[in-house]
Amino acid sequence: MASRDGASPGFAQRAAPILAGLLTLAALALLWQAACRAGYINKFVAPAPLDIARSFPHLFAEENLAGRFFQTFAETFLSAGLAVAVGIPLGWLLHHKKLAGLAFESWVGGLAAAPLVLAYPLFLVLFGRNTATIVAMSFLSGLPAMVLKTKEGLDGTKRVLVNVGLSFGLKPATLFRKILLPAAMPSIANGVRLALIFALINVVGVEFLINFGGLGELIDGLAQRWELPSMFGAILFVILTSVFFFWATGRVEKWFHPHG
């Protein structure tokens, strides 16, 4: 009714595409299962969806999936936390010292686009095959986004707000705490989200590449042992975890936006 009036679409209209998407996924899984059962797909190359689903109890009981999940996320939060701790002061410096901003903002942008993860053998040489390598690389991948987003937020603060603060005789530290930081918070929250996402991608990737740590190492280990249903299960778990993380950080970020 509402949609006929040109207002917001009704529940059925909103639910139909979501349902179509879910049904398509289910149909594809059924088709894959049927093809495996009929022998069109070799189960030693691509295991059936039911075998993948059945591998989850084994993954939790034997492969310590929950523990690896917490390890990966601890490394992610540590790396992103370091990126936030270093990135906000650097972003403020690039905002506060105009010359430094002009000279180095494009460098930070270049660092954000650089394929840093390819340098993991270099980090292995410097830090060894341990958590320090994973955290150092993931910290570096999240840092540029944090610096650039902090600077963007501080640069975007309305001049009139700063002038009001100055007219009240606020000291630079108070001006930053009371005016600049709150005004830049939506952009900083976006930077924190990007830092977390880049850190997660790098943590899982580096764990996989150096065969050490949490979820990434699990996938590599299962591949080397040719335990395909469990390997596909672990990959599915990482994808679902990434999707949930992406969604959850998006929801948290929205809280910091003045208009939701």
Residues that bind another protein (CB under 8 A): 16-18, 20-21, 24-25, 45-46, 99-100, 102-104, 107, 110, 113-115, 117-122, 124-126, 197, 200-202, 204-205, 208-209, 216, 219-220, 222-223, 228, 231-232, 235, 238-239, 242-243, 246-247
Interatomic CA distance for residues 192 and 197, integer angstroms: 9
Q: Please answer whether residues 111 and 144 qualify as being in contact, where contact means their C-beta atoms are separated by less than 8 angstroms.
A: yes
Nearer to another protein, 21 or 156 (CB): 21
Shortest separation between residue 220's beta carbon and another protein, angstroms: 7
Q: First and final CA of the chain: distance in angstroms?
A: 28
The label of the residue with tokens 């990482």 reads: 238
Minimal distance in Å, beta carbon 116 to another protein? Answer: 9
Q: Which residues contact 252 (CB under 8 A, 6 or more apart)?
A: 189, 193
Written as six digits, the tokens of 257 are 């936006």
Q: Which residues contact 102 (CB under 8 A, 6 or more apart)?
A: none
- The residue (of 70 and 247) whose beta carbon lies closer to another protein is 247
Q: Which lies closer to another protein via its Cβ, residue 123 or residue 180?
A: 123
- Quote the least distance from Cβ 253 to another protein, whole Å: 14
Q: Least distance from C-beta 244 to another protein, angstroms?
A: 9
Q: Is the dihedral of CA 49, 54, 55, 60 positive or negative?
A: positive
What distance in Å separates the CA atoms of residue 170 and residue 176, rounded to the nearest whole number?
A: 9
Least distance (Å) from another protein to the CB of residue 252?
15
Q: Which is nearer to another protein, 92 or 208 (CB)?
A: 208
- For another protein, the closer CB: 84 or 238: 238
What is the nearest approach in angstroms of another protein to the Cβ of residue 183? 26
Alpha-helical segments (H) within 44-130: 49-61, 65-96, 98-113, 120-127
| Enclosing H/E stretch for 46 | none
Amino acid in position 58: H
Tokens of residue 2, six digits? 């509402």
Complex with another protein: residue 30 or 243, whichever CB lies closer: 243
